[in-house]
Amino acid sequence: MTATTQTLTNISGWGNYPTQDAQVITPLSLSAYQTQLAQHPSIIARGMGRSYGDSANAPIVLQTTYCDHFIAFDKATGLLTVEAGVLLRDILKITVKQGWFLPVTPGTSFVTVGGAIASDVHGKNHHIAGTFGQHVVSITMLLGTGEVVTTSPTELPDLFHATCGGMGLTGVILSATIQLIPIQSAFIAQKTIKADCIEAACEAFETNSSGTYSVAWIDCLATGKHLGRSVLMLGEHAESGRLDLTVKDPITVPIHTPAALLNSMTMRAFNNAYWVKASGDKTQTVPLLPYFYPLDAIGGWNKLYGKAGFLQYQFVLPKVDGVANMRNILTQIAQSGQGSFLAVLKQFGQANQNLLSFPIEGYTLALDFKMSQSTIDLLHRLDDMVAGMGGRVYLTKDAVMLEVSFKTMYSNWEQFEAVRQKYGAIEKFASAQSKRLGLA
């Protein structure tokens, strides 16, 4: 057997919007990948489907999660080589007890290494560590021509910088070598700070910018002088404590919750309760997993938004005028009454060389909206504002952006297409998102 095929499965990203009937093919070996590639005019790689929108949706998808073997791990140097279908969670199960941690990690551990590279994901430490791709030493990938190549910042660097953040559109990542970081314990020393408006929150980020991890929960429904009130959580790897990791299976949300339960009244009540409960200037030591992945404890929390699904919107604004611009956007969101339970504010450091990578130096906000036509209209208005402010929207969260906005925000898109052309990726690798955004 060279491949497992499931015909016509209905797939979606984590936001459950949009959905698509797709042939999901699970290659079991490199030759199976090559056979599938030769047989189909157009495909896209798919990992855990934890991107929110339609970047891993297409009529034919190559599911990479079967190819999840560890290839090499040097305990002395922290250099790790794995197949692209390995989950970050599985890496941690093996490496933390040896004193090594991921250099950059997103807010869920249920993502594949291939997905983390293709989205060039960031964590709570972007201001000092950059993106996941900046810690990738090399990538082995399958091109549209059927050829397997190795790429790195020095080997075929144009391919490397298009692939990190390239949303699967340059080829299929088969394996990668990553440099991990040393840790002394499996705990984080966490400090909580309360900031009663967006200006105070951004100032707190600046004051603490030499710290390793920082993130803020922000109340997007607060208005007036409390607009943007936030609870900041700063973190440092604890220097003492055990190195073992307690990995619990998530509890599961069994059914799609009626969306009517999530209205602006319930959200306002949740946000108020969270603000009141949080205590400022508190320091505590917390285990790694709940610190980095609080939502991983609840499997299927995405069903809380009901069958129609939800849209996650994440944008970044440049630092210059960033605080005033953030106030303008928060005002629009608060006025729409469509904010979310969970809104997350972070600071970003400098941009990297990856052509479609999301982060630029400034402030980034991520929030969820219940799916509806009025939400789509709101997001299009916000896209215009973000583009006008010199910012951009994160592709791995996007499901509705218009081509014109994408091409304004991601000015390297033509260079990206030229690299795809050079390596035989044009038309061979395409997703619902890439078609919507006008990529070939």
The site for ligand FAD (CB under 6 A) is made up of 14, 44-51, 55-56, 64, 84, 106-108, 111-112, 114-116, 118-119, 121-123, 167-168, 172-173, 295, 396, 431
Residue 362 C-beta: closest distance to ligand FAD, Å:
15
Phi-psi region of 435 (alpha: psi -120 to 50; beta: other; left: phi over 0): alpha
Q: Read off φ and ψ for residue 83, nearest 5 degrees.
A: -70, 155
Q: Read off φ and ψ for residue 231, nearest 5 degrees.
A: -115, 115
CB closer to ligand FAD, 280 vs 300:
300
- State the DSSP H helix or E strand holding residue 82, giving kind and residue range, or none if neither: strand 79-83
Residue 224 C-beta: closest distance to ligand FAD, Å:
29
Residue 431 C-beta: closest distance to ligand FAD, Å:
6
CB closer to ligand FAD, 78 vs 168:
168
Q: What is the C-alpha separation between 405 and 388, in angstroms, rounded?
A: 10
Residue 49 C-beta: closest distance to ligand FAD, Å:
5
Residue 9 C-beta: closest distance to ligand FAD, Å:
14
CB closer to ligand FAD, 125 vs 197:
125
Residue 88 C-beta: closest distance to ligand FAD, Å:
9
Closest CA to 64 of 96, 110, 100, 112: 112
Amino acid present at 366: A
Residue 405 C-beta: closest distance to ligand FAD, Å:
18
Closest CA to 394 of 382, 209, 331: 382
3-state helix, strand, coil in the chain (%, to 5): 30, 30, 40
Amino acid present at 14: W
CB closer to ligand FAD, 171 vs 228:
171
CB closer to ligand FAD, 56 vs 198:
56
Distant-in-sequence contacts of 267-273, Cβ < 8 A, 24+ apart: 267/221, 267/339, 267/340, 267/341, 268/221, 270/341, 271/219, 271/220, 271/221, 271/222, 271/339, 271/341, 272/219
CB closer to ligand FAD, 241 vs 250:
250
Residue 43 C-beta: closest distance to ligand FAD, Å:
9
CA distance readout (Å), 142 to 28, 111, 250, 314, 415: 14, 20, 34, 30, 20
Asked if residue 254 has a cis previous peptide bond (ω within 30° of 0), the answer is no
Contacts of 48 (CB under 8 A, 6+ apart): 65, 87, 110, 111, 112, 115
CB closer to ligand FAD, 130 vs 334:
130
Residue 120 C-beta: closest distance to ligand FAD, Å:
8
CB closer to ligand FAD, 98 vs 352:
352
CB closer to ligand FAD, 111 vs 409:
111
Q: What is the C-alpha separation between 322 and 360, in angstroms, rounded?
A: 12
Q: What is the C-alpha separation between 149 and 156, in angstroms, rounded?
A: 9
CB closer to ligand FAD, 114 vs 228:
114
Query: Could you please report the per-residue DSSP string of 221-236?
Result: T--GGGTT-EEEEEEE
CB closer to ligand FAD, 41 vs 224:
41
Residue 382 C-beta: closest distance to ligand FAD, Å:
19
Directed axis angle between helix 198-207 and helix 322-336, to 10°?
140
Tokens 């200037």, located at residue: 281
Residue 324 C-beta: closest distance to ligand FAD, Å:
25
Looking at residue 308, the DSSP 8-state letter turns out to be: T
